[in-house]
């Protein structure tokens, strides 16, 4: 009985502890210290070294330690026939909605301006829009997007969602497919990206799409850095078409020291912390899939390799 963790750039000890605490007696290995290659059947992965999975002839399932699986599917040497699963967890969902709401409210109420004013002891009130007068567009109406949209709607914002297939959601307007993208974008005072990274969604936040947002729109990207064309965002901010952006994810993470986003006055950078998987709560679904795999049963939270999410 063993689970093997494949990860670069993230501390694995919380996962090791959570697995061992919940299932005493389970062997937990951390790549490259895997033990005999033929005994590796179940992997837990985040940003694994490319090609690493190719060396394990009996590997049956790779579970992402996060909601996204682009980091697994992008491996050109990913063995065929392996099931890929991902995390769907209430804590992860709530934390994303909370983070996005904080960014939205910070922007709508202009809180950063008062921090700056405080530095110069300046007492100056600014007008603000009420939530009912702000339209929010959520790209990606999956587990995270749907909940975030509903939370924002509860605060009084007008919310629209955009997804691949049509949705019906109380209180939230919905748009689907490329044919409805322009209409969706044209309404969004604040655009939130919660799409998975796939060949269809890469570079989707570009000069053309962001240019279709109303003048003064604000962009929040909490999905993946590769969704955004960095130079196009900067150009639209500098032209005054967009009023600002909150970015939690980047093409290269950590964001390189010399990247212009760090210094841009209209960009708020956070280090991929919008919602972090909590191993203590997510470990039960990992173990459930591990047991299902061993008993030959269907797995939960399975990713479609054809769709890429």
Q: Which residue has the tokens 């307007």?
A: 173
Q: Which residue has the tokens 């950078």?
A: 269
The DSSP annotation for 226-243 comes to GGB-HHHHHHHHHTTSEE
Residues serving a catalytic function are 224, 272
Nearest to 249 by CA among 71, 59, 18: 71
Which residues in the 68-127 window bind ligand NDP by CB under 6 A? 68, 96
Residues 66-85, one symbol each (x = binds ligand OXD by CB under 6 A, - = not), give xxx-----------------
Number of residues that bind ligand NDP (CB under 6 A): 29
When binding is defined by CB under 6 A, the residue of 12, 201, 289, 301 that contacts ligand NDP is 201
Sequence-distant (6+) residues with CB within 8 A of 52 are 6, 31, 32
Nearest to 160 by CA among 82, 217, 85: 217
| Residue with Cβ nearer ligand OXD (135 or 222) | 222
Pick from ligand OXD, ligand NDP, none: which does 196 bind, CB < 5 to 8 A by kind? ligand NDP
| 163 near ligand NDP, rule: CB under 6 A | yes
Nearest to 70 by CA among 227, 300, 193: 227
What is the Rg, in whole angstroms, of the alpha carbon atoms belonging to the chain?
21
Q: How far is the CB of 94 from ligand NDP (least distance, A)?
A: 12
Q: Which stretch binds ligand NDP (CB under 6 A): 36-44, 49-57, 112-120, 197-205?
A: 197-205
Nearest to 246 by CA among 66, 141, 111: 111
| Residue with Cβ nearer ligand OXD (104 or 197) | 197
Q: Which residue number is nearest to ligand NDP in terms of Cβ?
A: 142
Kindly report the backbone phi and psi dihedral angles of residue 193, in degrees, each rounded to the nearest multiple of 5, phi listed first.
-100, 115
Number of residues that bind ligand OXD (CB under 6 A): 4
Rounded CA-CA distance 210/228 in Å is 10
| 274 near ligand NDP, rule: CB under 6 A | yes
Residues 262-281, one symbol each (x = binds ligand OXD by CB under 6 A, - = not), give ---------------x----
Q: How far is the CB of 231 from ligand NDP (least distance, A)?
A: 22
Q: Which stretch binds ligand OXD (CB under 6 A): 61-69, 74-82, 150-158, 287-295?
A: 61-69
What is the sign, positive or negative, of the torsion defined by CA atoms of 175, 178, 182, 188?
positive
Residues contributing to the site for ligand NDP (CB under 6 A): 66-68, 96, 140-145, 163-165, 194-198, 200-201, 222-224, 248-249, 272, 274-275, 309
């Amino acid at each position: 009985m063993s689970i093997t963790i494949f990860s670069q750039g993230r501390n694995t000890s919380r996962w090791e502890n959570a697995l061992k605490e919940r299932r005493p007696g389970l062997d937990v290995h951390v790549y490259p210290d895997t033990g005999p290659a033929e005994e590796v059947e179940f992997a837990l992965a985040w940003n694994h070294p490319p090609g690493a999975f190719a060396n394990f002839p009996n590997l049956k399932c790779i579970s992402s330690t996060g909601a996204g699986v682009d980091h697994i599917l992008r491996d050109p040497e990913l063995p065929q026939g392996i099931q890929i699963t991902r995390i769907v967890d209430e804590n992860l969902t709530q934390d994303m909605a909370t983070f996005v709401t904080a960014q939205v409210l910070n922007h709508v109420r202009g809180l950063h301006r008062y921090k700056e004013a405080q530095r110069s002891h300046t007492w100056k009130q600014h007008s603000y829009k009420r939530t009912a007068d702000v339209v929010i567009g959520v790209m990606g109406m999956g587990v995270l997007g749907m909940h975030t949209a509903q939370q924002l709607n509860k605060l009084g914002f007008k919310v629209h969602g955009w997804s691949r297939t049509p949705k019906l959601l109380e209180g939230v307007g919905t748009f689907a497919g490329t044919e409805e993208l322009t209409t969706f974008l044209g309404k969004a005072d604040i655009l939130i990206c919660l799409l998975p990274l796939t060949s269809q969604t890469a570079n989707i936040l570009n000069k053309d799409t962001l240019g279709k947002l109303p003048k003064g729109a604000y962009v929040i990207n909490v999905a993946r850095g590769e969704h955004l064309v960095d130079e196009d965002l900067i150009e639209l901010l500098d032209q005054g078409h967009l009023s600002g952006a909150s970015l939690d994810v980047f093409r290269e993470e950590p964001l390189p020291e010399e990247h212009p986003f760090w210094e841009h006055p209209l960009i708020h950078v956070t280090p991929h912390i919008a919602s972090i998987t909590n191993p203590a709560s997510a470990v039960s679904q990992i173990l459930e899939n591990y047991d299902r795999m061993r008993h030959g049963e269907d797995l939960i939270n399975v990713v479609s390799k054809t769709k890429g999410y």
